Structure 1
Amino acid sequence: MVQNKLTNINDVAYQKLIDNITALWGEAKSKAVNAVNTELLEANWQTGKYIVDFELKGKDRAEYGKHLLMNLSKDLTIRNGKGFNRTNLTYMRKFYLAFPILGTASPKLTWSHYYELLKCDNSLEMKFYFNECIKEGWKVRELKRQMKSCLFQRLALSTDKAGVLALANEGHQVQTPQDIIRDPFVLEFAGLPK
């Protein structure tokens, strides 16, 4: 059975030793995760590039091209295992097309971030969310929340862009009773006009 209690030594130098080794291993794990993320992004980008290059050279392969992603999915899964379903291959292709120069994709974002970003219908919207993810350090869950709440569209329509951004980052702040009454959900619930 593994014992989870730390040795109770009150020596400051010993505690510093523990802190240094713990920090070293934490940093090593973080670097390993970042390296894996970078390699995953590069492999997904390169896969997308291979698919696009194959499609562009394929005038004589038009019939085969209709089923390219389905066939690729089946054959890559047989040879390499999970991760190559048709949807993933579609997003790898989209990733390459959205970021034709790999260096323009940020390693600060994970494949899960890009997977969500590539769902945007317009490139301006995707670029907005891409920049906000990096600037604000959004996790994937926060990115999904902001996209679902249509932050980009609200900003585009708003005259108070700074206010909408603050609301998006901090949430709705209730400071006075009137703030609750002006809440669109309260107005809708009460059947009152905005």
Structure 2
Amino acid sequence: MATFFQQSLFVLLLLHAHQVVSSTPDHHGLIRTLNFSLFQQQVPNKTAFIVLTGVTGVGVSLTTAPFGTIYLANDRLTAESNASSETLGTVQVAFLTSSMDGLQTMLFANFILKTKDREGSISVFGGVKNTEPSPVQVLGGTGDFMHVQGYATCLPVVQVDAGVVFPYEFFLSWPPIRKR
């Protein structure tokens, strides 16, 4: 049977362990979140092209490319889907076709934002189904997006005039930072 001293020691250790793993969300007691949309304006130019055409599978179209195709772009990001809307930054992106039917792609992207409210970058990676909304993981960020967590949803591409638009929806949060 445990003595009063042993029981008290156990309770103290339990309380201490709880203090070590718990933290305050931030200096205001809140977890910061941010949700927004960006639109990649893709028009034929010298900063958007197929680097390597895949070896087998379907042909190149708006939503497909042969297996193994590598596509690179450095495109303008806008606040709305129309090309004349406000520019919020640029995106450096690589797509790698990862399925034989050409409908699945690995996405590697760095969104570089410079607005009146925020400046920094957000890096994402993940598998995308080209014809349906697909979540990709946010790997991290710089500047105002330092320590960011969350995901972005890649929405199906939309053809507009001479180019296409890649819509993205971001769902971001910052982890609680413990003040010392």
TM-score w.r.t. the length of structure 2 is 0.24
Bigger proportion of residues as strand: 2
Q: Which has the larger radius of gyration?
A: 1
TM-score w.r.t. the length of structure 1 is 0.23
